[in-house]
Structure 1
Amino acid sequence: MENISVENNYACDICEANFCKNSFLEKHMKTHTKPYSCEACEFSCSSSASLARHVRTHTGEKPFCCEVCGYSFAQKSVLKSHMQTHSDVKPFSCSLCKSTFSRKQYLRIHMRVHTGEKPYSCQVCSSSFAQKQYLAIHMRTHTGEKPFSCELCQASFSANSRLSRHMQMHTGAKPYSCGVCASSFSQKEHLRKHMRTHTGEKPFRCQLCESSFAEKSKLRRHMTTHTGNKTHLCDMCNSSFSQKEHLIKHIRTHTGERPFSCQVCGSSFTVNAGLRRHMQIHM
């Protein structure tokens, strides 16, 4: 049986820590050294358990499985945290709004919505992010890495969430329905954009004029009208355009293409707006 010292006579030679058992001292000494090394990279640690957790980052092994939803995790502690998502208990409340959270760290991340804090900065450009995972996804825009691949086509994505949205194209699922009309959408953000056609909301405002837009992409296109940049050139004449879609419309004046056809009388038009105006004749 191991001797136990009431007076904590087992002292560390490196720091001032004292222990009542020699086994405690031996375990503590490993914190000063890192005898366990990874064979796949230069990582080293003080315990075999830490090494085992690290090795899973190479193998992808996730031995801890949720019995409720089937998700699996590389660490038991992460599984324990995940289990709280299946519980209605959310003891951590935001003092600025009504949001509640199952974990304290989720509340801490949420608070950045109110403070505007973005502690994770990109070393390549000036972008910064509220969460580390968003920075990791952003870095792939610099590296070109797209680790999430579709098994049905050759498409690949920088984030798993984008792959999930893409998969709905193959399934045809449109779970997001408009409460005003019969339209339905495969993505929640598409429904949100669509709702603005009913509400008339145009939250994206130009800082140089009074124009406002329902979509951010349309604001970006509009901004080129202020810069005067016309980078889209016609190969058939000297015309140039600030927006690619304007060049595409212009090219049809050379080719004679009229891709927008009336289903009632067969008339065709170079632009969709022309077809819409024409349809009023049949109403």
Structure 2
Amino acid sequence: MQKFSAQEMQNQVQLYSDYFFNAGFPQGQPVVCPERRWTTWSTSLACGSGLAVNDKGAQLLVKPCVCTLCGKSFSNNSYLAIHTRSHTGERPYICDVCGERFNRSNHLNDHKRTHSGEKPYRCEICGEQFVKSGNLVEHKRKHSGERPFHCDVCDKSFARMSVLYRHRVIHSKDRPYKCDLCDKRFTRKGALHRHERVHSGEKPFHCDVCNKSFAHSESLSMHKAIHTGEKLYRCDICDKRFGNRLYLHSHKKIHSEERPYVCNECGDAFKRSGDLNAHKSTHSAEKPFRCELCDQRFTKNSNLHRHKKLHLAKEGTAQEKEKTKFNIAPLANSF
């Protein structure tokens, strides 16, 4: 299958954006959706592009609906409305089981299957089943070895577009959304809005059991598990369950071979951002984790935990010696 770089995909998005200002269908270069996932009404589920056919029968990308906030264009107003929620942070679709919110109804439907255990999408090669069709598409690439998403800077290829986007942050320092209070910058406007609640103290999400309030809906969902003891979030690969979505998200990286977090010092790659942060400390003299018993310092929290066990073991040995000494003394006096 042909590889598509991020720039090529962006070029396709911009192609024929002036469709509304021309009579009839645009004439020009035929294009295809990178995912080749077309619906019956000729709109791509992968990138939201519409298809038109000119007088020569060539398929042409059409996106007449333009976002006034960022300039991105879409094939119809429905896709534009969904996109606009990425700027506003609106998530109108709510899970009636755990309270998690979503910006699209189909994302809510996919999420509900994590509670029900339903896996309607089955791999015909190995029989593995999945909650989402997208997970099946990604899984099949493990069998084929296909990596269609290509970085146009360093020539690396990826099986998923989301991993390519995360990877590209390594090459670009562009963070256009800046907090006016602390100058911290973000790649997305929604992330900036979430951050601004740190300064404002706004906590719009309330627990109906104990009335505790939270800044984010995800935090409320995690908190509710304390009251119920339920583990609502289920891994669709190994069936392990978790009390909150973040733990599940971190766990699922164990199953993936993707290592999107790359050290800019030595090039080592990691599955989780926390592993990368721990690794980075090996390049510096910084040892932020201190033992409060002996003041020894460590680069990793896990090393500190192992060290503390030595203190516990020594303490246990000393206590055993005291007990032995106490028990033997009377025996010695009895003879």
TM-score interval, smaller chain? 0.3 to 0.5
Please give the TM-score of this superposition, normalised by the length of structure 2. 0.39
Give the TM-score taking structure 1 as reference length: 0.45
